[in-house]
Amino acid sequence: MSTQTSILDDAKRKIQIEQTVRGFLELLDENELDLEDGLVAWNMLGFTIFQDTYPEEKHDAIQQRMNEFSQALFASGQIT
């Protein structure tokens, strides 16, 4: 039963992430921003999240954490 729960939880999480991305793209459209502006905004959002998580770290250290996180996420195959 826990395997089924895990599969369902993973599926729900993936759907929530996809809905968040769609919402972000809709927000770009509503504000008449192009994809380059969207990438800047997405990067700023990511940096802000890492900065809030690690408030004592300097800018360079946060960028390094973001890079490491992105590389690990890509390597894990969770990005489809």
Nearest CA to 42 among 74, 69, 72, 20? Answer: 20
Confidence of residue 4 (pLDDT cuts 50, 70, 90): confident
Q: pLDDT tens digits for 12-69? A: 989 999 999 999 999 999 999 999 999 999 999 999 999 999 999 999 999 999 999 9
Asked if residue 71 has pLDDT above 80, the reply is yes
What is residue 1's predicted lDDT score, i.e. its pLDDT? 59
In this prediction the pTM is 0.69
- 10-17: list long-range contacts, CB under 8 Å, 24+ apart: none
pLDDT of residue 6: 86
Question: Widest CA span of the chain, in angstroms?
Answer: 47
Residues 6+ apart with CB under 8 A from 66: 46, 47, 50
